[in-house]
Amino acid sequence: MKSICGVEGVSAAGIKEGKYGLALIRASGTAAGVFTTNRARAAPVEVMMERMRRGTLDAVVVNSGCANAYTGERGYRDAVEMCEIAGGALGLDAESVGVASTGVIGRYLNLPLITDQCGRVAPLLAHSADAEDAAARAIMTTDTFPKHALVETETFAVGGITKGSGMIAPNMGTMLAFLYTDAEVEGPVLQDILRTATRRSFNRVVVDGDTSTNDVAFCTATGAAGKVDRAELATAIEAVCRDLAVQIARDGEGATKLLEVTVRGAPDEDAAAEVARTVVASPLVKTAIYGEDPNWGRVVAAAGRAGVAFDPYAVSLSVGDTPLVLRGEIVADLVQAKAAMRGSTVAFDLDLAAGDGLATAWGCDLTEKYVEINGKYTT
Amino acid sequence: MKSICGVEGVSAAGIKEGKYGLALIRASGTAAGVFTTNRARAAPVEVMMERMRRGTLDAVVVNSGCANAYTGERGYRDAVEMCEIAGGALGLDAESVGVASTGVIGRYLNLPLITDQCGRVAPLLAHSADAEDAAARAIMTTDTFPKHALVETETFAVGGITKGSGMIAPNMGTMLAFLYTDAEVEGPVLQDILRTATRRSFNRVVVDGDTSTNDVAFCTATGAAGKVDRAELATAIEAVCRDLAVQIARDGEGATKLLEVTVRGAPDEDAAAEVARTVVASPLVKTAIYGEDPNWGRVVAAAGRAGVAFDPYAVSLSVGDTPLVLRGEIVADLVQAKAAMRGSTVAFDLDLAAGDGLATAWGCDLTEKYVEINGKYTT
């Protein structure tokens, strides 16, 4: 197993038919969720923000191809109806079924298709590597590979799947991510752990700076493994979130390289994260990465507009193991720097010399392919 | 005349040799300036923030090819030296010469080249259409056309030139812009007028969301036309700034279309501007414009993440004359909408129904060419 079926008590299934996919995941337990901060929240997000208050889930149903976003009251009713369809297919109370959608904004759900797909997917539910992979593939849109992560400790496991490739600048919520653990944990604790893990992982990925209307991350704890150490659980959940977040960045639309920016020496962790996010989001940094052009001045320029106080002439910057700036002094050997940008991962380390804050953010290069994918996505 | 030489008392000259250009503009008068808010300010910006306190200028010297940004104390001394070189060539006190630079960050100025170019450009100073065009061309980097604007009233004139194509998300300051008027006006009044005009023009252009280290706009008032009505002067300066700003957007790196987004019904003007800027900056909106894809949901999604309070189901949206959403109801005819995106300007009008705030922002589409230009800009 590579993800959710590595967790006791989780079964999954999914199908993908052209643009339209549907996944079902069955697992009962304490549940927590984080949601997009975009003001134009999708209907399934509205539904789940209410439903997650009860603090438990028995299943989730997810469709790809239509975001059910900006669809008003009809969209809300459709999202509720989608839970009922899935609940019917699974023999569960609709209120205990979570719902998420991803795809084009401003289009209504095709409920007959969802009904048909639920009817065919439900009998396929299984606790297997194939099943978790089918679910991960069913929720893909422009993703080029399914995204799995699993952390196993001696006493419990945490697994997750996610999707996301474009419209990626999560804020508080994230793209679609579904995490499971067999640890036994109280709802408020799980919510707290998930919020922190999300802040340090999904919320530090920027593909294009656009925050989706549909971002959600759910974590369900089945309790099958009994009580566990809280810190250990938090570490495992954060590790799974980070693993999935890095996969999203690497699979950014049109990306050829992963961009990893670590900012240290910031006034605090939030400031470090803000600078790191600003650098990975900069179109000029992203195109330089693509061109393997050691135009490191763009990194300093992006950091300078992040709204964080620091002295530009105190900073140190390196790419890979190659120093570029040492406490404000330019020491860049541009031939070496170019060589350090050749691999599939380009890592900058920026020390602001303004405190103890540390954070890493992930993104990708900006290529002609991103333009091609997004110039022709809907119609 | 098309710009600065349409103003009494202004003479100009410039040369462009490969990547390296130099312009001189001679005009004595009351002067005002606005500057980048990027924390990593370029050396010439640092110098000018101090010098503008005296409130007058006799000339400006501008080079392209090297930004003299992130160059520390040596960069600062070089910028001061550049004023002295220009002052020497023009027979002026160096303290009365303004300086600006644009180009690659993290490289030192080539002062022998600047000396040589100043020596050759100074004798060419003239009050002519050719001269203003030579100056406008000398300051270009990735710009594809020189940018001129001129407003003539019965009693006075305002002219300006600017450059800017990439790293465009001005904030408080702008790219390089040089404005002249023969109106007689006190320094603080001119500063106030310029700040407001900049806020409503250059600060509403986003090409790629990267705020330059070198943004500046200067306005010099020669006084040759005598005292004028303050409101009329403000209107003329704002019109020139807006004309230049739109030219920058249209000449965005790799752009094929101008994107104009008007937001009305916002809580106030600043909120309207924030939403408009967020929409024109959205990579997903920009790529949809390029693909002439009426994926208008991306406009609503971008507006939703701008941090401004509104009800997504109260908004109205149109592209050109084609309504897409009317008070929250989807009325889009996608064939008509696609047709409305075919011209060289694509204009969205978004009514948030949340107040009286109105603002327009300008940007451009995102194309493969932007990636190509910026993947290979320095080395």
Q: What is the mean pLDDT of chain B?
A: 89
Residues of B in contact with A379 (CB under 8 A): 293-295, 334, 338
Give the residue carrying structure tokens 């694509």. B346
Residue A129 confidence (pLDDT) above 90:
yes
Which one from B71, B174, B181, B278 is the annotated catalytic residue? B174
Tell me whether residues B301 and A212 touch, CB distance under 8 A. Answer: yes
Q: What is the pLDDT of residue B216?
A: 78
Q: Tell whether A35 lies on the interface with B, counting CB pairs under 8 A.
A: no
Average pLDDT, integer, range A25-47: 86
Which of these ranges, A171-175, A297-301, B9-13, has the smallest mean pLDDT? A171-175
| pLDDT band at residue A174 using 50, 70 and 90 as cut-offs | very low
Residue of chain B nearest A324, judged by CA positions: B106
Per-residue pLDDT for A228 more than 60? yes
What confidence tens digit (pLDDT) does each residue in B235-251 have? 999 988 888 888 888 88
A130-168 burial string, b = 16+ CB within 10 Å, else e?
Answer: ebbbbbbbbbbbbbeebbbbbbeeeebbbbbbbbbbbbb
User: How far is the C-alpha of B53 from the C-alpha of B62, rounded, in Å?
Assistant: 19
* Average pLDDT rounded to a whole number, residues B201-213: 73
Q: Within an 8 Å CB–CB cutoff, is residue A233 touching chain B?
A: no
Does the annotation list B379 as a binding residue? yes
Residue A172 has a pLDDT of 36
H or E element, residue B261: strand B258-266
What are the structural domain ranges in chain A? 4-248, 258-375
Among 3.40.50.300, 3.30.43.10, 3.40.30.10, 3.60.70.12, name the CATH number for the domain at A4-248. Answer: 3.60.70.12
Residues in chain B: 379
A215 chain-B contacts, CB cut-off 8 A: none
Of B39, B301, B334, nearest to A210 by CB-CB distance is B301
pLDDT of residue B171 exceeding 50: no
Report which residue type is found at A88.
Answer: G
Residue A120 has pLDDT above 90, yes or no: yes
Q: For domain B258-375, which CATH number applies: 3.40.640.10, 3.10.20.340, 3.40.50.2000, 3.40.50.720? A: 3.10.20.340
- Mean pLDDT for B256-268 is 96
Residue scoring higher pLDDT (A96 or B35): A96
DSSP secondary structure string for all residues of A99-150: EEEEEESS----HHHHHHHHHHHGGG-BSSHHHHHHHHHHT-SS-SS-EEEE
Q: Is the pLDDT of residue B184 over 70?
A: yes
Token digits for B248? 């920058």
pLDDT at B210: 66
Q: Stretch B312-324: mean pLDDT, rounded?
A: 93
Which tokens belong to B179?
């404005």
Interface contact A210, partner B, CB < 8 A = yes
The answer to whether the beta carbons of residues A184 and A221 sit under 8 Å apart is yes
Residue B231 has pLDDT above 80, yes or no: yes
- Which of B35, B105, B171 is most worth mutating to test chain A (most A CB atoms within 10 A of its CB)? B105
Would you name the residues of A annotated as active-site residues? 174
Answer yes or no: are the C-beta atoms of A213 and A69 closer than 8 Å: yes
Of B37, B334, B377, the CB nearest to A295: B377
In chain A, pLDDT over 70 holds for what percent of residues?
94
- Between CA B354 and CA B358, with CA B356 as vertex, the angle to 5 degrees is 105
Per-residue HEC secondary structure of A330-379 comes to ECCCHHHHHHHCCCCEEEEEEECCCCCEEEEEEEECCCHHHHHHHHCCCC
Question: Looking at beta carbons, which residues of chain B come within 8 Å of A368?
Answer: 368, 371-372
How many CA atoms lie within 13 Å of B308's alpha carbon, on the beta-carbon side?
30
Q: What is the pLDDT of residue A264?
A: 97
CATH for B4-250 (3.60.70.12, 1.10.3720.10, 3.30.70.260, 3.40.47.10)? 3.60.70.12
Give the three-state DSSP class for B111: helix
Residues A290, A321 contacting (CB under 8 angstroms): no
Average pLDDT, stretch B143-169?
Answer: 83
Instruction: Average the pLDDT over B56-71 and give the result.
Output: 92
Q: Does A155 touch chain B (CB under 8 A)?
A: no
pLDDT, residue A212, reads 65
Which residues, in sequence order, are bridge partners of residue B220? B31, B180
Percent of chain B past pLDDT 90, that is, above it, reads 56
Residues in A touching B294 (Cβ below 8 Å): 378-379
- In this predicted structure, what is the pLDDT of residue A164? 77
Predicted local distance difference test score (pLDDT) of residue A173? 39
pLDDT value of position A23:
96
Test B69 with A301 for CB contact under 8 angstroms.
yes
Q: With bands split at pLDDT 50, 70 and 90, how would you rate the model's confidence at B201?
A: confident
* 3-class DSSP state of B79: helix
When mean pLDDT is compared over A159-168, B166-175, B267-276, the highest value belongs to: B267-276
Residues of chain B neighbouring A211 (CB-CB closer than 8 A): 301, 304-305
Digit-coded pLDDT (tens) for A132-147:
999 999 998 888 889 8
Bridge partners for B264 per DSSP: B351
8 Å CB contact of B287 and A39 = no
What pLDDT, on a 0 to 100 scale, did the predictor assign at position B167?
Answer: 60
User: Exposed/middle/buried for A35, CB within 10 Å: 0-12, 13-18, 19+?
Assistant: buried
- Least reliable range by pLDDT among A209-223, B163-177, B340-354: B163-177
The string of DSSP codes covering A9-66 is T-EEEEEEETTEEEEEEEEEEEEEEEE---SS--HHHHHHHHHGGG-EEEEEEEEEEE
**What pLDDT does residue A169 have?**
54
- Closest Cα of chain A to B314: distance in Å? 10
For residue range A351-372, list pLDDT tens digits in order. Answer: 999 999 999 999 999 999 888 8
On the question of pLDDT at A167 being above 90, the answer is no
Is residue B169 pLDDT above 60, yes or no? no
- Contact call for A67 and B297, based on CB within 8 A: yes
pLDDT at B297 over 90: no
For the stretch A298-347, pLDDT in tens is 899 889 888 899 998 899 999 999 999 999 888 889 899 999 999 999 99
